[in-house]
Amino acid sequence: MRCSSSGLPTMLRKAGQALQRLRGGAIEIRLRPYQRLLTRIVRHDAELVRYTDDRLCNAVSQVRQQLSAGNSTESCLPLAFALVRAAAGRVLGQRPYDEQLMAGVALHRGKVVQMQTGEGKTLAAVAPAFLDGLTGRGVHILTFNDYLARRDADWMGPLFDFLGLTVGCVVQSMSPRERRAAYDCDITYVTAKEAGFDYLRDQLAPDADSWVHRNHHCAIIDEADSILIDEA
């Protein structure tokens, strides 16, 4: 087959368009499970918006009881995420967008999610943190610096408090006693460096009673590329 140079730009453009369609189709297929879950979340949310605050808190207790009874976090995910959306509207005056909820589902499933600055990463992390926090085993939200750890804890603290979870924040200037109290909370905002050095110091402690950390159950990492690659 022979093609003239004059027809080459057209061929390249068509090839690029075909590749873009293939990429779009692949992305759409990968998103389908998340979209199905989103439909269930939205269905729950349509009911929860009519709840009083007390009834909403009772629904949180029901999810906690289901997890204590041995139900998986995956089975409780739709209602838990809907509770976060409903509560965020009341406490923060802003409800997570569909895209933020889908990002939260991906985070809960251990995926890396790319979101641009200003797209609501902090709020997207709340739903998966809330769901795993209900297990009582603790969630670390790892930030890039102390300022972000304190800011996000102050910002999202009232929302977690409304949902019945405790929130702590670890920064460099804290004493071991203050650190232990923060790590004992359901949700702990801390930089990756502080969490890492606290772990190393725990390994040098004479006994477990001197540790500041408790178990390491779940971590959500903000700026994962910087923390896991650039700063590793």
- Name the pLDDT band for 34 (thresholds 50, 70, 90): confident
Give kind and range of the element (H or E) at residue 140.
strand 139-143
Tell me yes or no: is domain 9-120 CATH 3.40.50.300. Answer: yes
User: Domain coordinates of the chain in residue numbers?
Assistant: 9-120, 136-232
Q: Which residues contact 104 (CB under 8 A, 6 or more apart)?
A: 81, 96, 124, 125, 126, 127, 128
Res 119: pLDDT: 84
Which of these CATH numbers, 3.30.830.10, 3.40.50.300, 3.30.2010.10, 3.40.190.10, describes 136-232?
3.40.50.300
pLDDT in tens, 93-123: 999 999 999 999 999 999 999 888 788 999 9
Q: Please tell me if the domain spanning 9-120 has the same topology as the one spanning 136-232.
A: yes
Q: How far apart are the first and last CA of the chain?
A: 51
9, pLDDT greater than 70: no
